[in-house]
Amino acid sequence: MDSCIRGVLFDFHGVSMTHYFTDNWENVQNFQARPDDILIATYPKAGTTWTSYILDLLYFGQTWQERQATVPIFDRVPFLEITWPSMGSGKDVADNLPTSPRLIKTHFPVQFVPKSFFEQNCRIVYVARNAKDNVVSFFHFDRMNRIEPEPGDWNSYLKRFMQGKMVFGSWYDHVSNWWKKKQTYSNLHYMFFEDMVEDTGREIDKLCSFLGLTPSAEEKERVTGGVQFDNMKKDGMANYSTNIVMDFKVSPFMRKGKVGDWKNHFTVAQNEEFDEDYKTKMKDPTLQFRTEI
């Protein structure tokens, strides 16, 4: 797609960003949240689409089936901070969402989130994924997404990840600062990708209890089944196949969906260096990730 130009990273209030996510800054900061809005917040590649799909099915799966069949998940759950000339801004889409509640996605670090979400005491679902699988997934995504910065080779990419020079900044800061936010903001549900892979049904139960939803056993079964990796991968409304900036010849969006794929990418030396560096950055013993299940 000729009109896709890879973004270039620059420092934005101390966070590496590309212009696609900062051009609409003022409008995004002034976004007026409603009390029943639900914000899905993640570092990129932590399971945003999966969680969006779960929430969308829980809320609208039974009542709005036509939408399920015709509207891609990235339009049902708009990406608040994105601006894209031919698509308009995620903020405009969010403003005009016909649903109630509105489900809205962001990759912002917590300090960038528009204040009104907190003022309105909106429910926020944060999903985190272990750093090793997260960086592998991000690498393949940056290869196939034509508005992401050029990924370069794997070794330099991994170094850049460790330095926090990725779109939306440092993984270490992102997951840690959202974790800290949970201590003071009670309407935040912090989930882990690894737990979702291990037992999707259990995690959906926890989500429902956070959201105050009580689906029937049959309905829960339908949602749990619908969001399994293989089903989402072949679902044209969930697998991003209609998204024009992605080159599926390079890598699929629904790539592997596994815990531990990092072992196929990290060399022994890279792994040792990564672990050493990780210890210096992740000091909070209460925030623990699993790199295998």
Where in the sequence numbering do the catalytic residues fall? 107
**Binding test (CB under 6 A) with ligand A3P, winner from 140, 160, 174, 181:** 140
Q: Which stretch binds ligand A3P (CB under 6 A): 1-9, 92-100, 222-230, 269-277?
A: 222-230
Of 35 and 201, which CB lies nearer to ligand A3P in the complex structure? 201
Indicate whether 227 belongs to the interface with ligand A3P (CB under 6 A).
Answer: yes
**Binding test (CB under 6 A) with ligand A3P, winner from 19, 180, 189, 256:** 256
Instruction: Tell me whether residue 261 is exposed, middle or buried, using C-beta atoms within 10 angstroms of its C-beta: 0 to 12, 13 to 18, 19 or more.
Output: middle
Distances (CA, A) of 108 to 2, 104, 174, 175: 28, 12, 8, 11
Residue 145 pairs with which residues in a beta bridge?
A: 246
**Binding test (CB under 6 A) with ligand A3P, winner from 16, 45, 132, 170:** 45
Smallest distance, Å, CB 137 to ligand A3P? 3
Q: What is the DSSP secondary-structure string of 205-229?
A: HHHHHHHT----HHHHHHHHHHTSH
In contact, 202 and 208? CB cutoff 8 Å: no
Taking CB atoms, the residue at the shortest distance from ligand A3P is 257
List all residues 6 or more positions away from 11 whose beta carbon is below 8 Å from its beta carbon. 17
Give the whole-angstrom CA distance, residue 204 versus residue 225. Answer: 11
Q: Which stretch binds ligand A3P (CB under 6 A): 19-27, 57-65, 150-158, 224-232?
A: 224-232
Smallest distance, Å, CB 112 to ligand A3P? 17
Give the whole-angstrom CA distance, residue 153 versus residue 113. Answer: 32
Smallest distance, Å, CB 160 to ligand A3P? 18
Question: At 226, which amino acid appears?
Answer: G
Indicate whether 240 belongs to the interface with ligand A3P (CB under 6 A).
Answer: no
- Give the distance, in angstroms, between the CA of residue 261 and the centroid of all CA atoms in the same chain: 18
Give the whole-angstrom CA distance, residue 200 versus residue 205. Answer: 9
Specify the length of the chain in residues.
Answer: 293
Of 116 and 220, which CB lies nearer to ligand A3P in the complex structure? 220
Of 59 and 126, which CB lies nearer to ligand A3P in the complex structure? 126
- Residue 38: both structure tokens together: 């639900």
Smallest distance, Å, CB 280 to ligand A3P? 26
**Binding test (CB under 6 A) with ligand A3P, winner from 89, 137, 145, 176:** 137
Smallest distance, Å, CB 273 to ligand A3P? 22
What value, to the nearest 5°, has the Cα angle with vertex 133 and ends 131 and 138? Answer: 90
- Interacting residues toward ligand A3P by CB under 6 A: 42, 44-50, 133, 137, 140, 197, 227-229, 232, 254-257, 261
